[in-house]
Structures are given as structure tokens and as C-alpha cells.
Amino acid sequence: MQGVIKSYDPGTREGVVVRDIDRSEYDLASDALAGSIFRMLRQGQRVVFDLDAEGRATRCRLGSEVDMGTPPEPPPP
């Protein structure tokens, strides 16, 4: 899934991510950044994430432009 960070507290590692498709909000799991390149997250940051068994966002990572659904650049005129 892909979404945007709504909030994140680096002290407690608690936060919320909003899924792009339907604006559903998911709390971040305590291990959401484990093994990722992120040390912290900022509000408005785009991420790709999975959901754990409890329905919390986990495995936050950067996505490629394909993952993010970025349309290709139009050819030059």
C-alpha cells in the first residue's frame, strides 16, 4: 500500500499514515521503521507500507515511481 505520513513522534515512535486510495488511517506499528532506511518520518512524507496482523502500518519504505503510481513524463514536443 502507499500513503502519506499524517503524524509521527520520534520519541515514542507513534504515528499515523493515511492510505492514498481511500484515505483510511492506520497507526504505525512499533517496528514500522525496523530494517528500513528511515530513522524518522516527517508529516507529508510518502511511503509504501504493509499491514501487520493487528492492522497497523509496518515495513515503511520508499517506493519507486511505479509503486507510487507516478505517471510517466510526456515525450518532448
- Among candidates 54, 57, 70, 63, which has minimal Cα distance to 7? 57
In which domain, by residue range, is 52 found?
2-67
pLDDT for 62 equals 82
Sheet of strand 2-9, all strands in order from the earlier edge strand to the far edge: 25-27, 14-19, 2-9, 46-51, 57-61
Distance from chain centroid for Cα 59: 9
pLDDT for 77 equals 72
Assess if residue 74 is contained within a domain.
Answer: no
Assess if residue 11 is contained within a domain.
Answer: yes
pTM score? 0.77
pLDDT for 35 equals 80
pLDDT for 68 equals 53
Assess if residue 73 is contained within a domain.
Answer: no
CATH number of the domain to which 40 belongs: 2.40.50.140
Assess if residue 72 is contained within a domain.
Answer: no
Structural domains of the chain, count: 1
Mean pLDDT, contiguous 10-residue spans, the chain (77 residues): 92 92 94 83 91 94 61 63
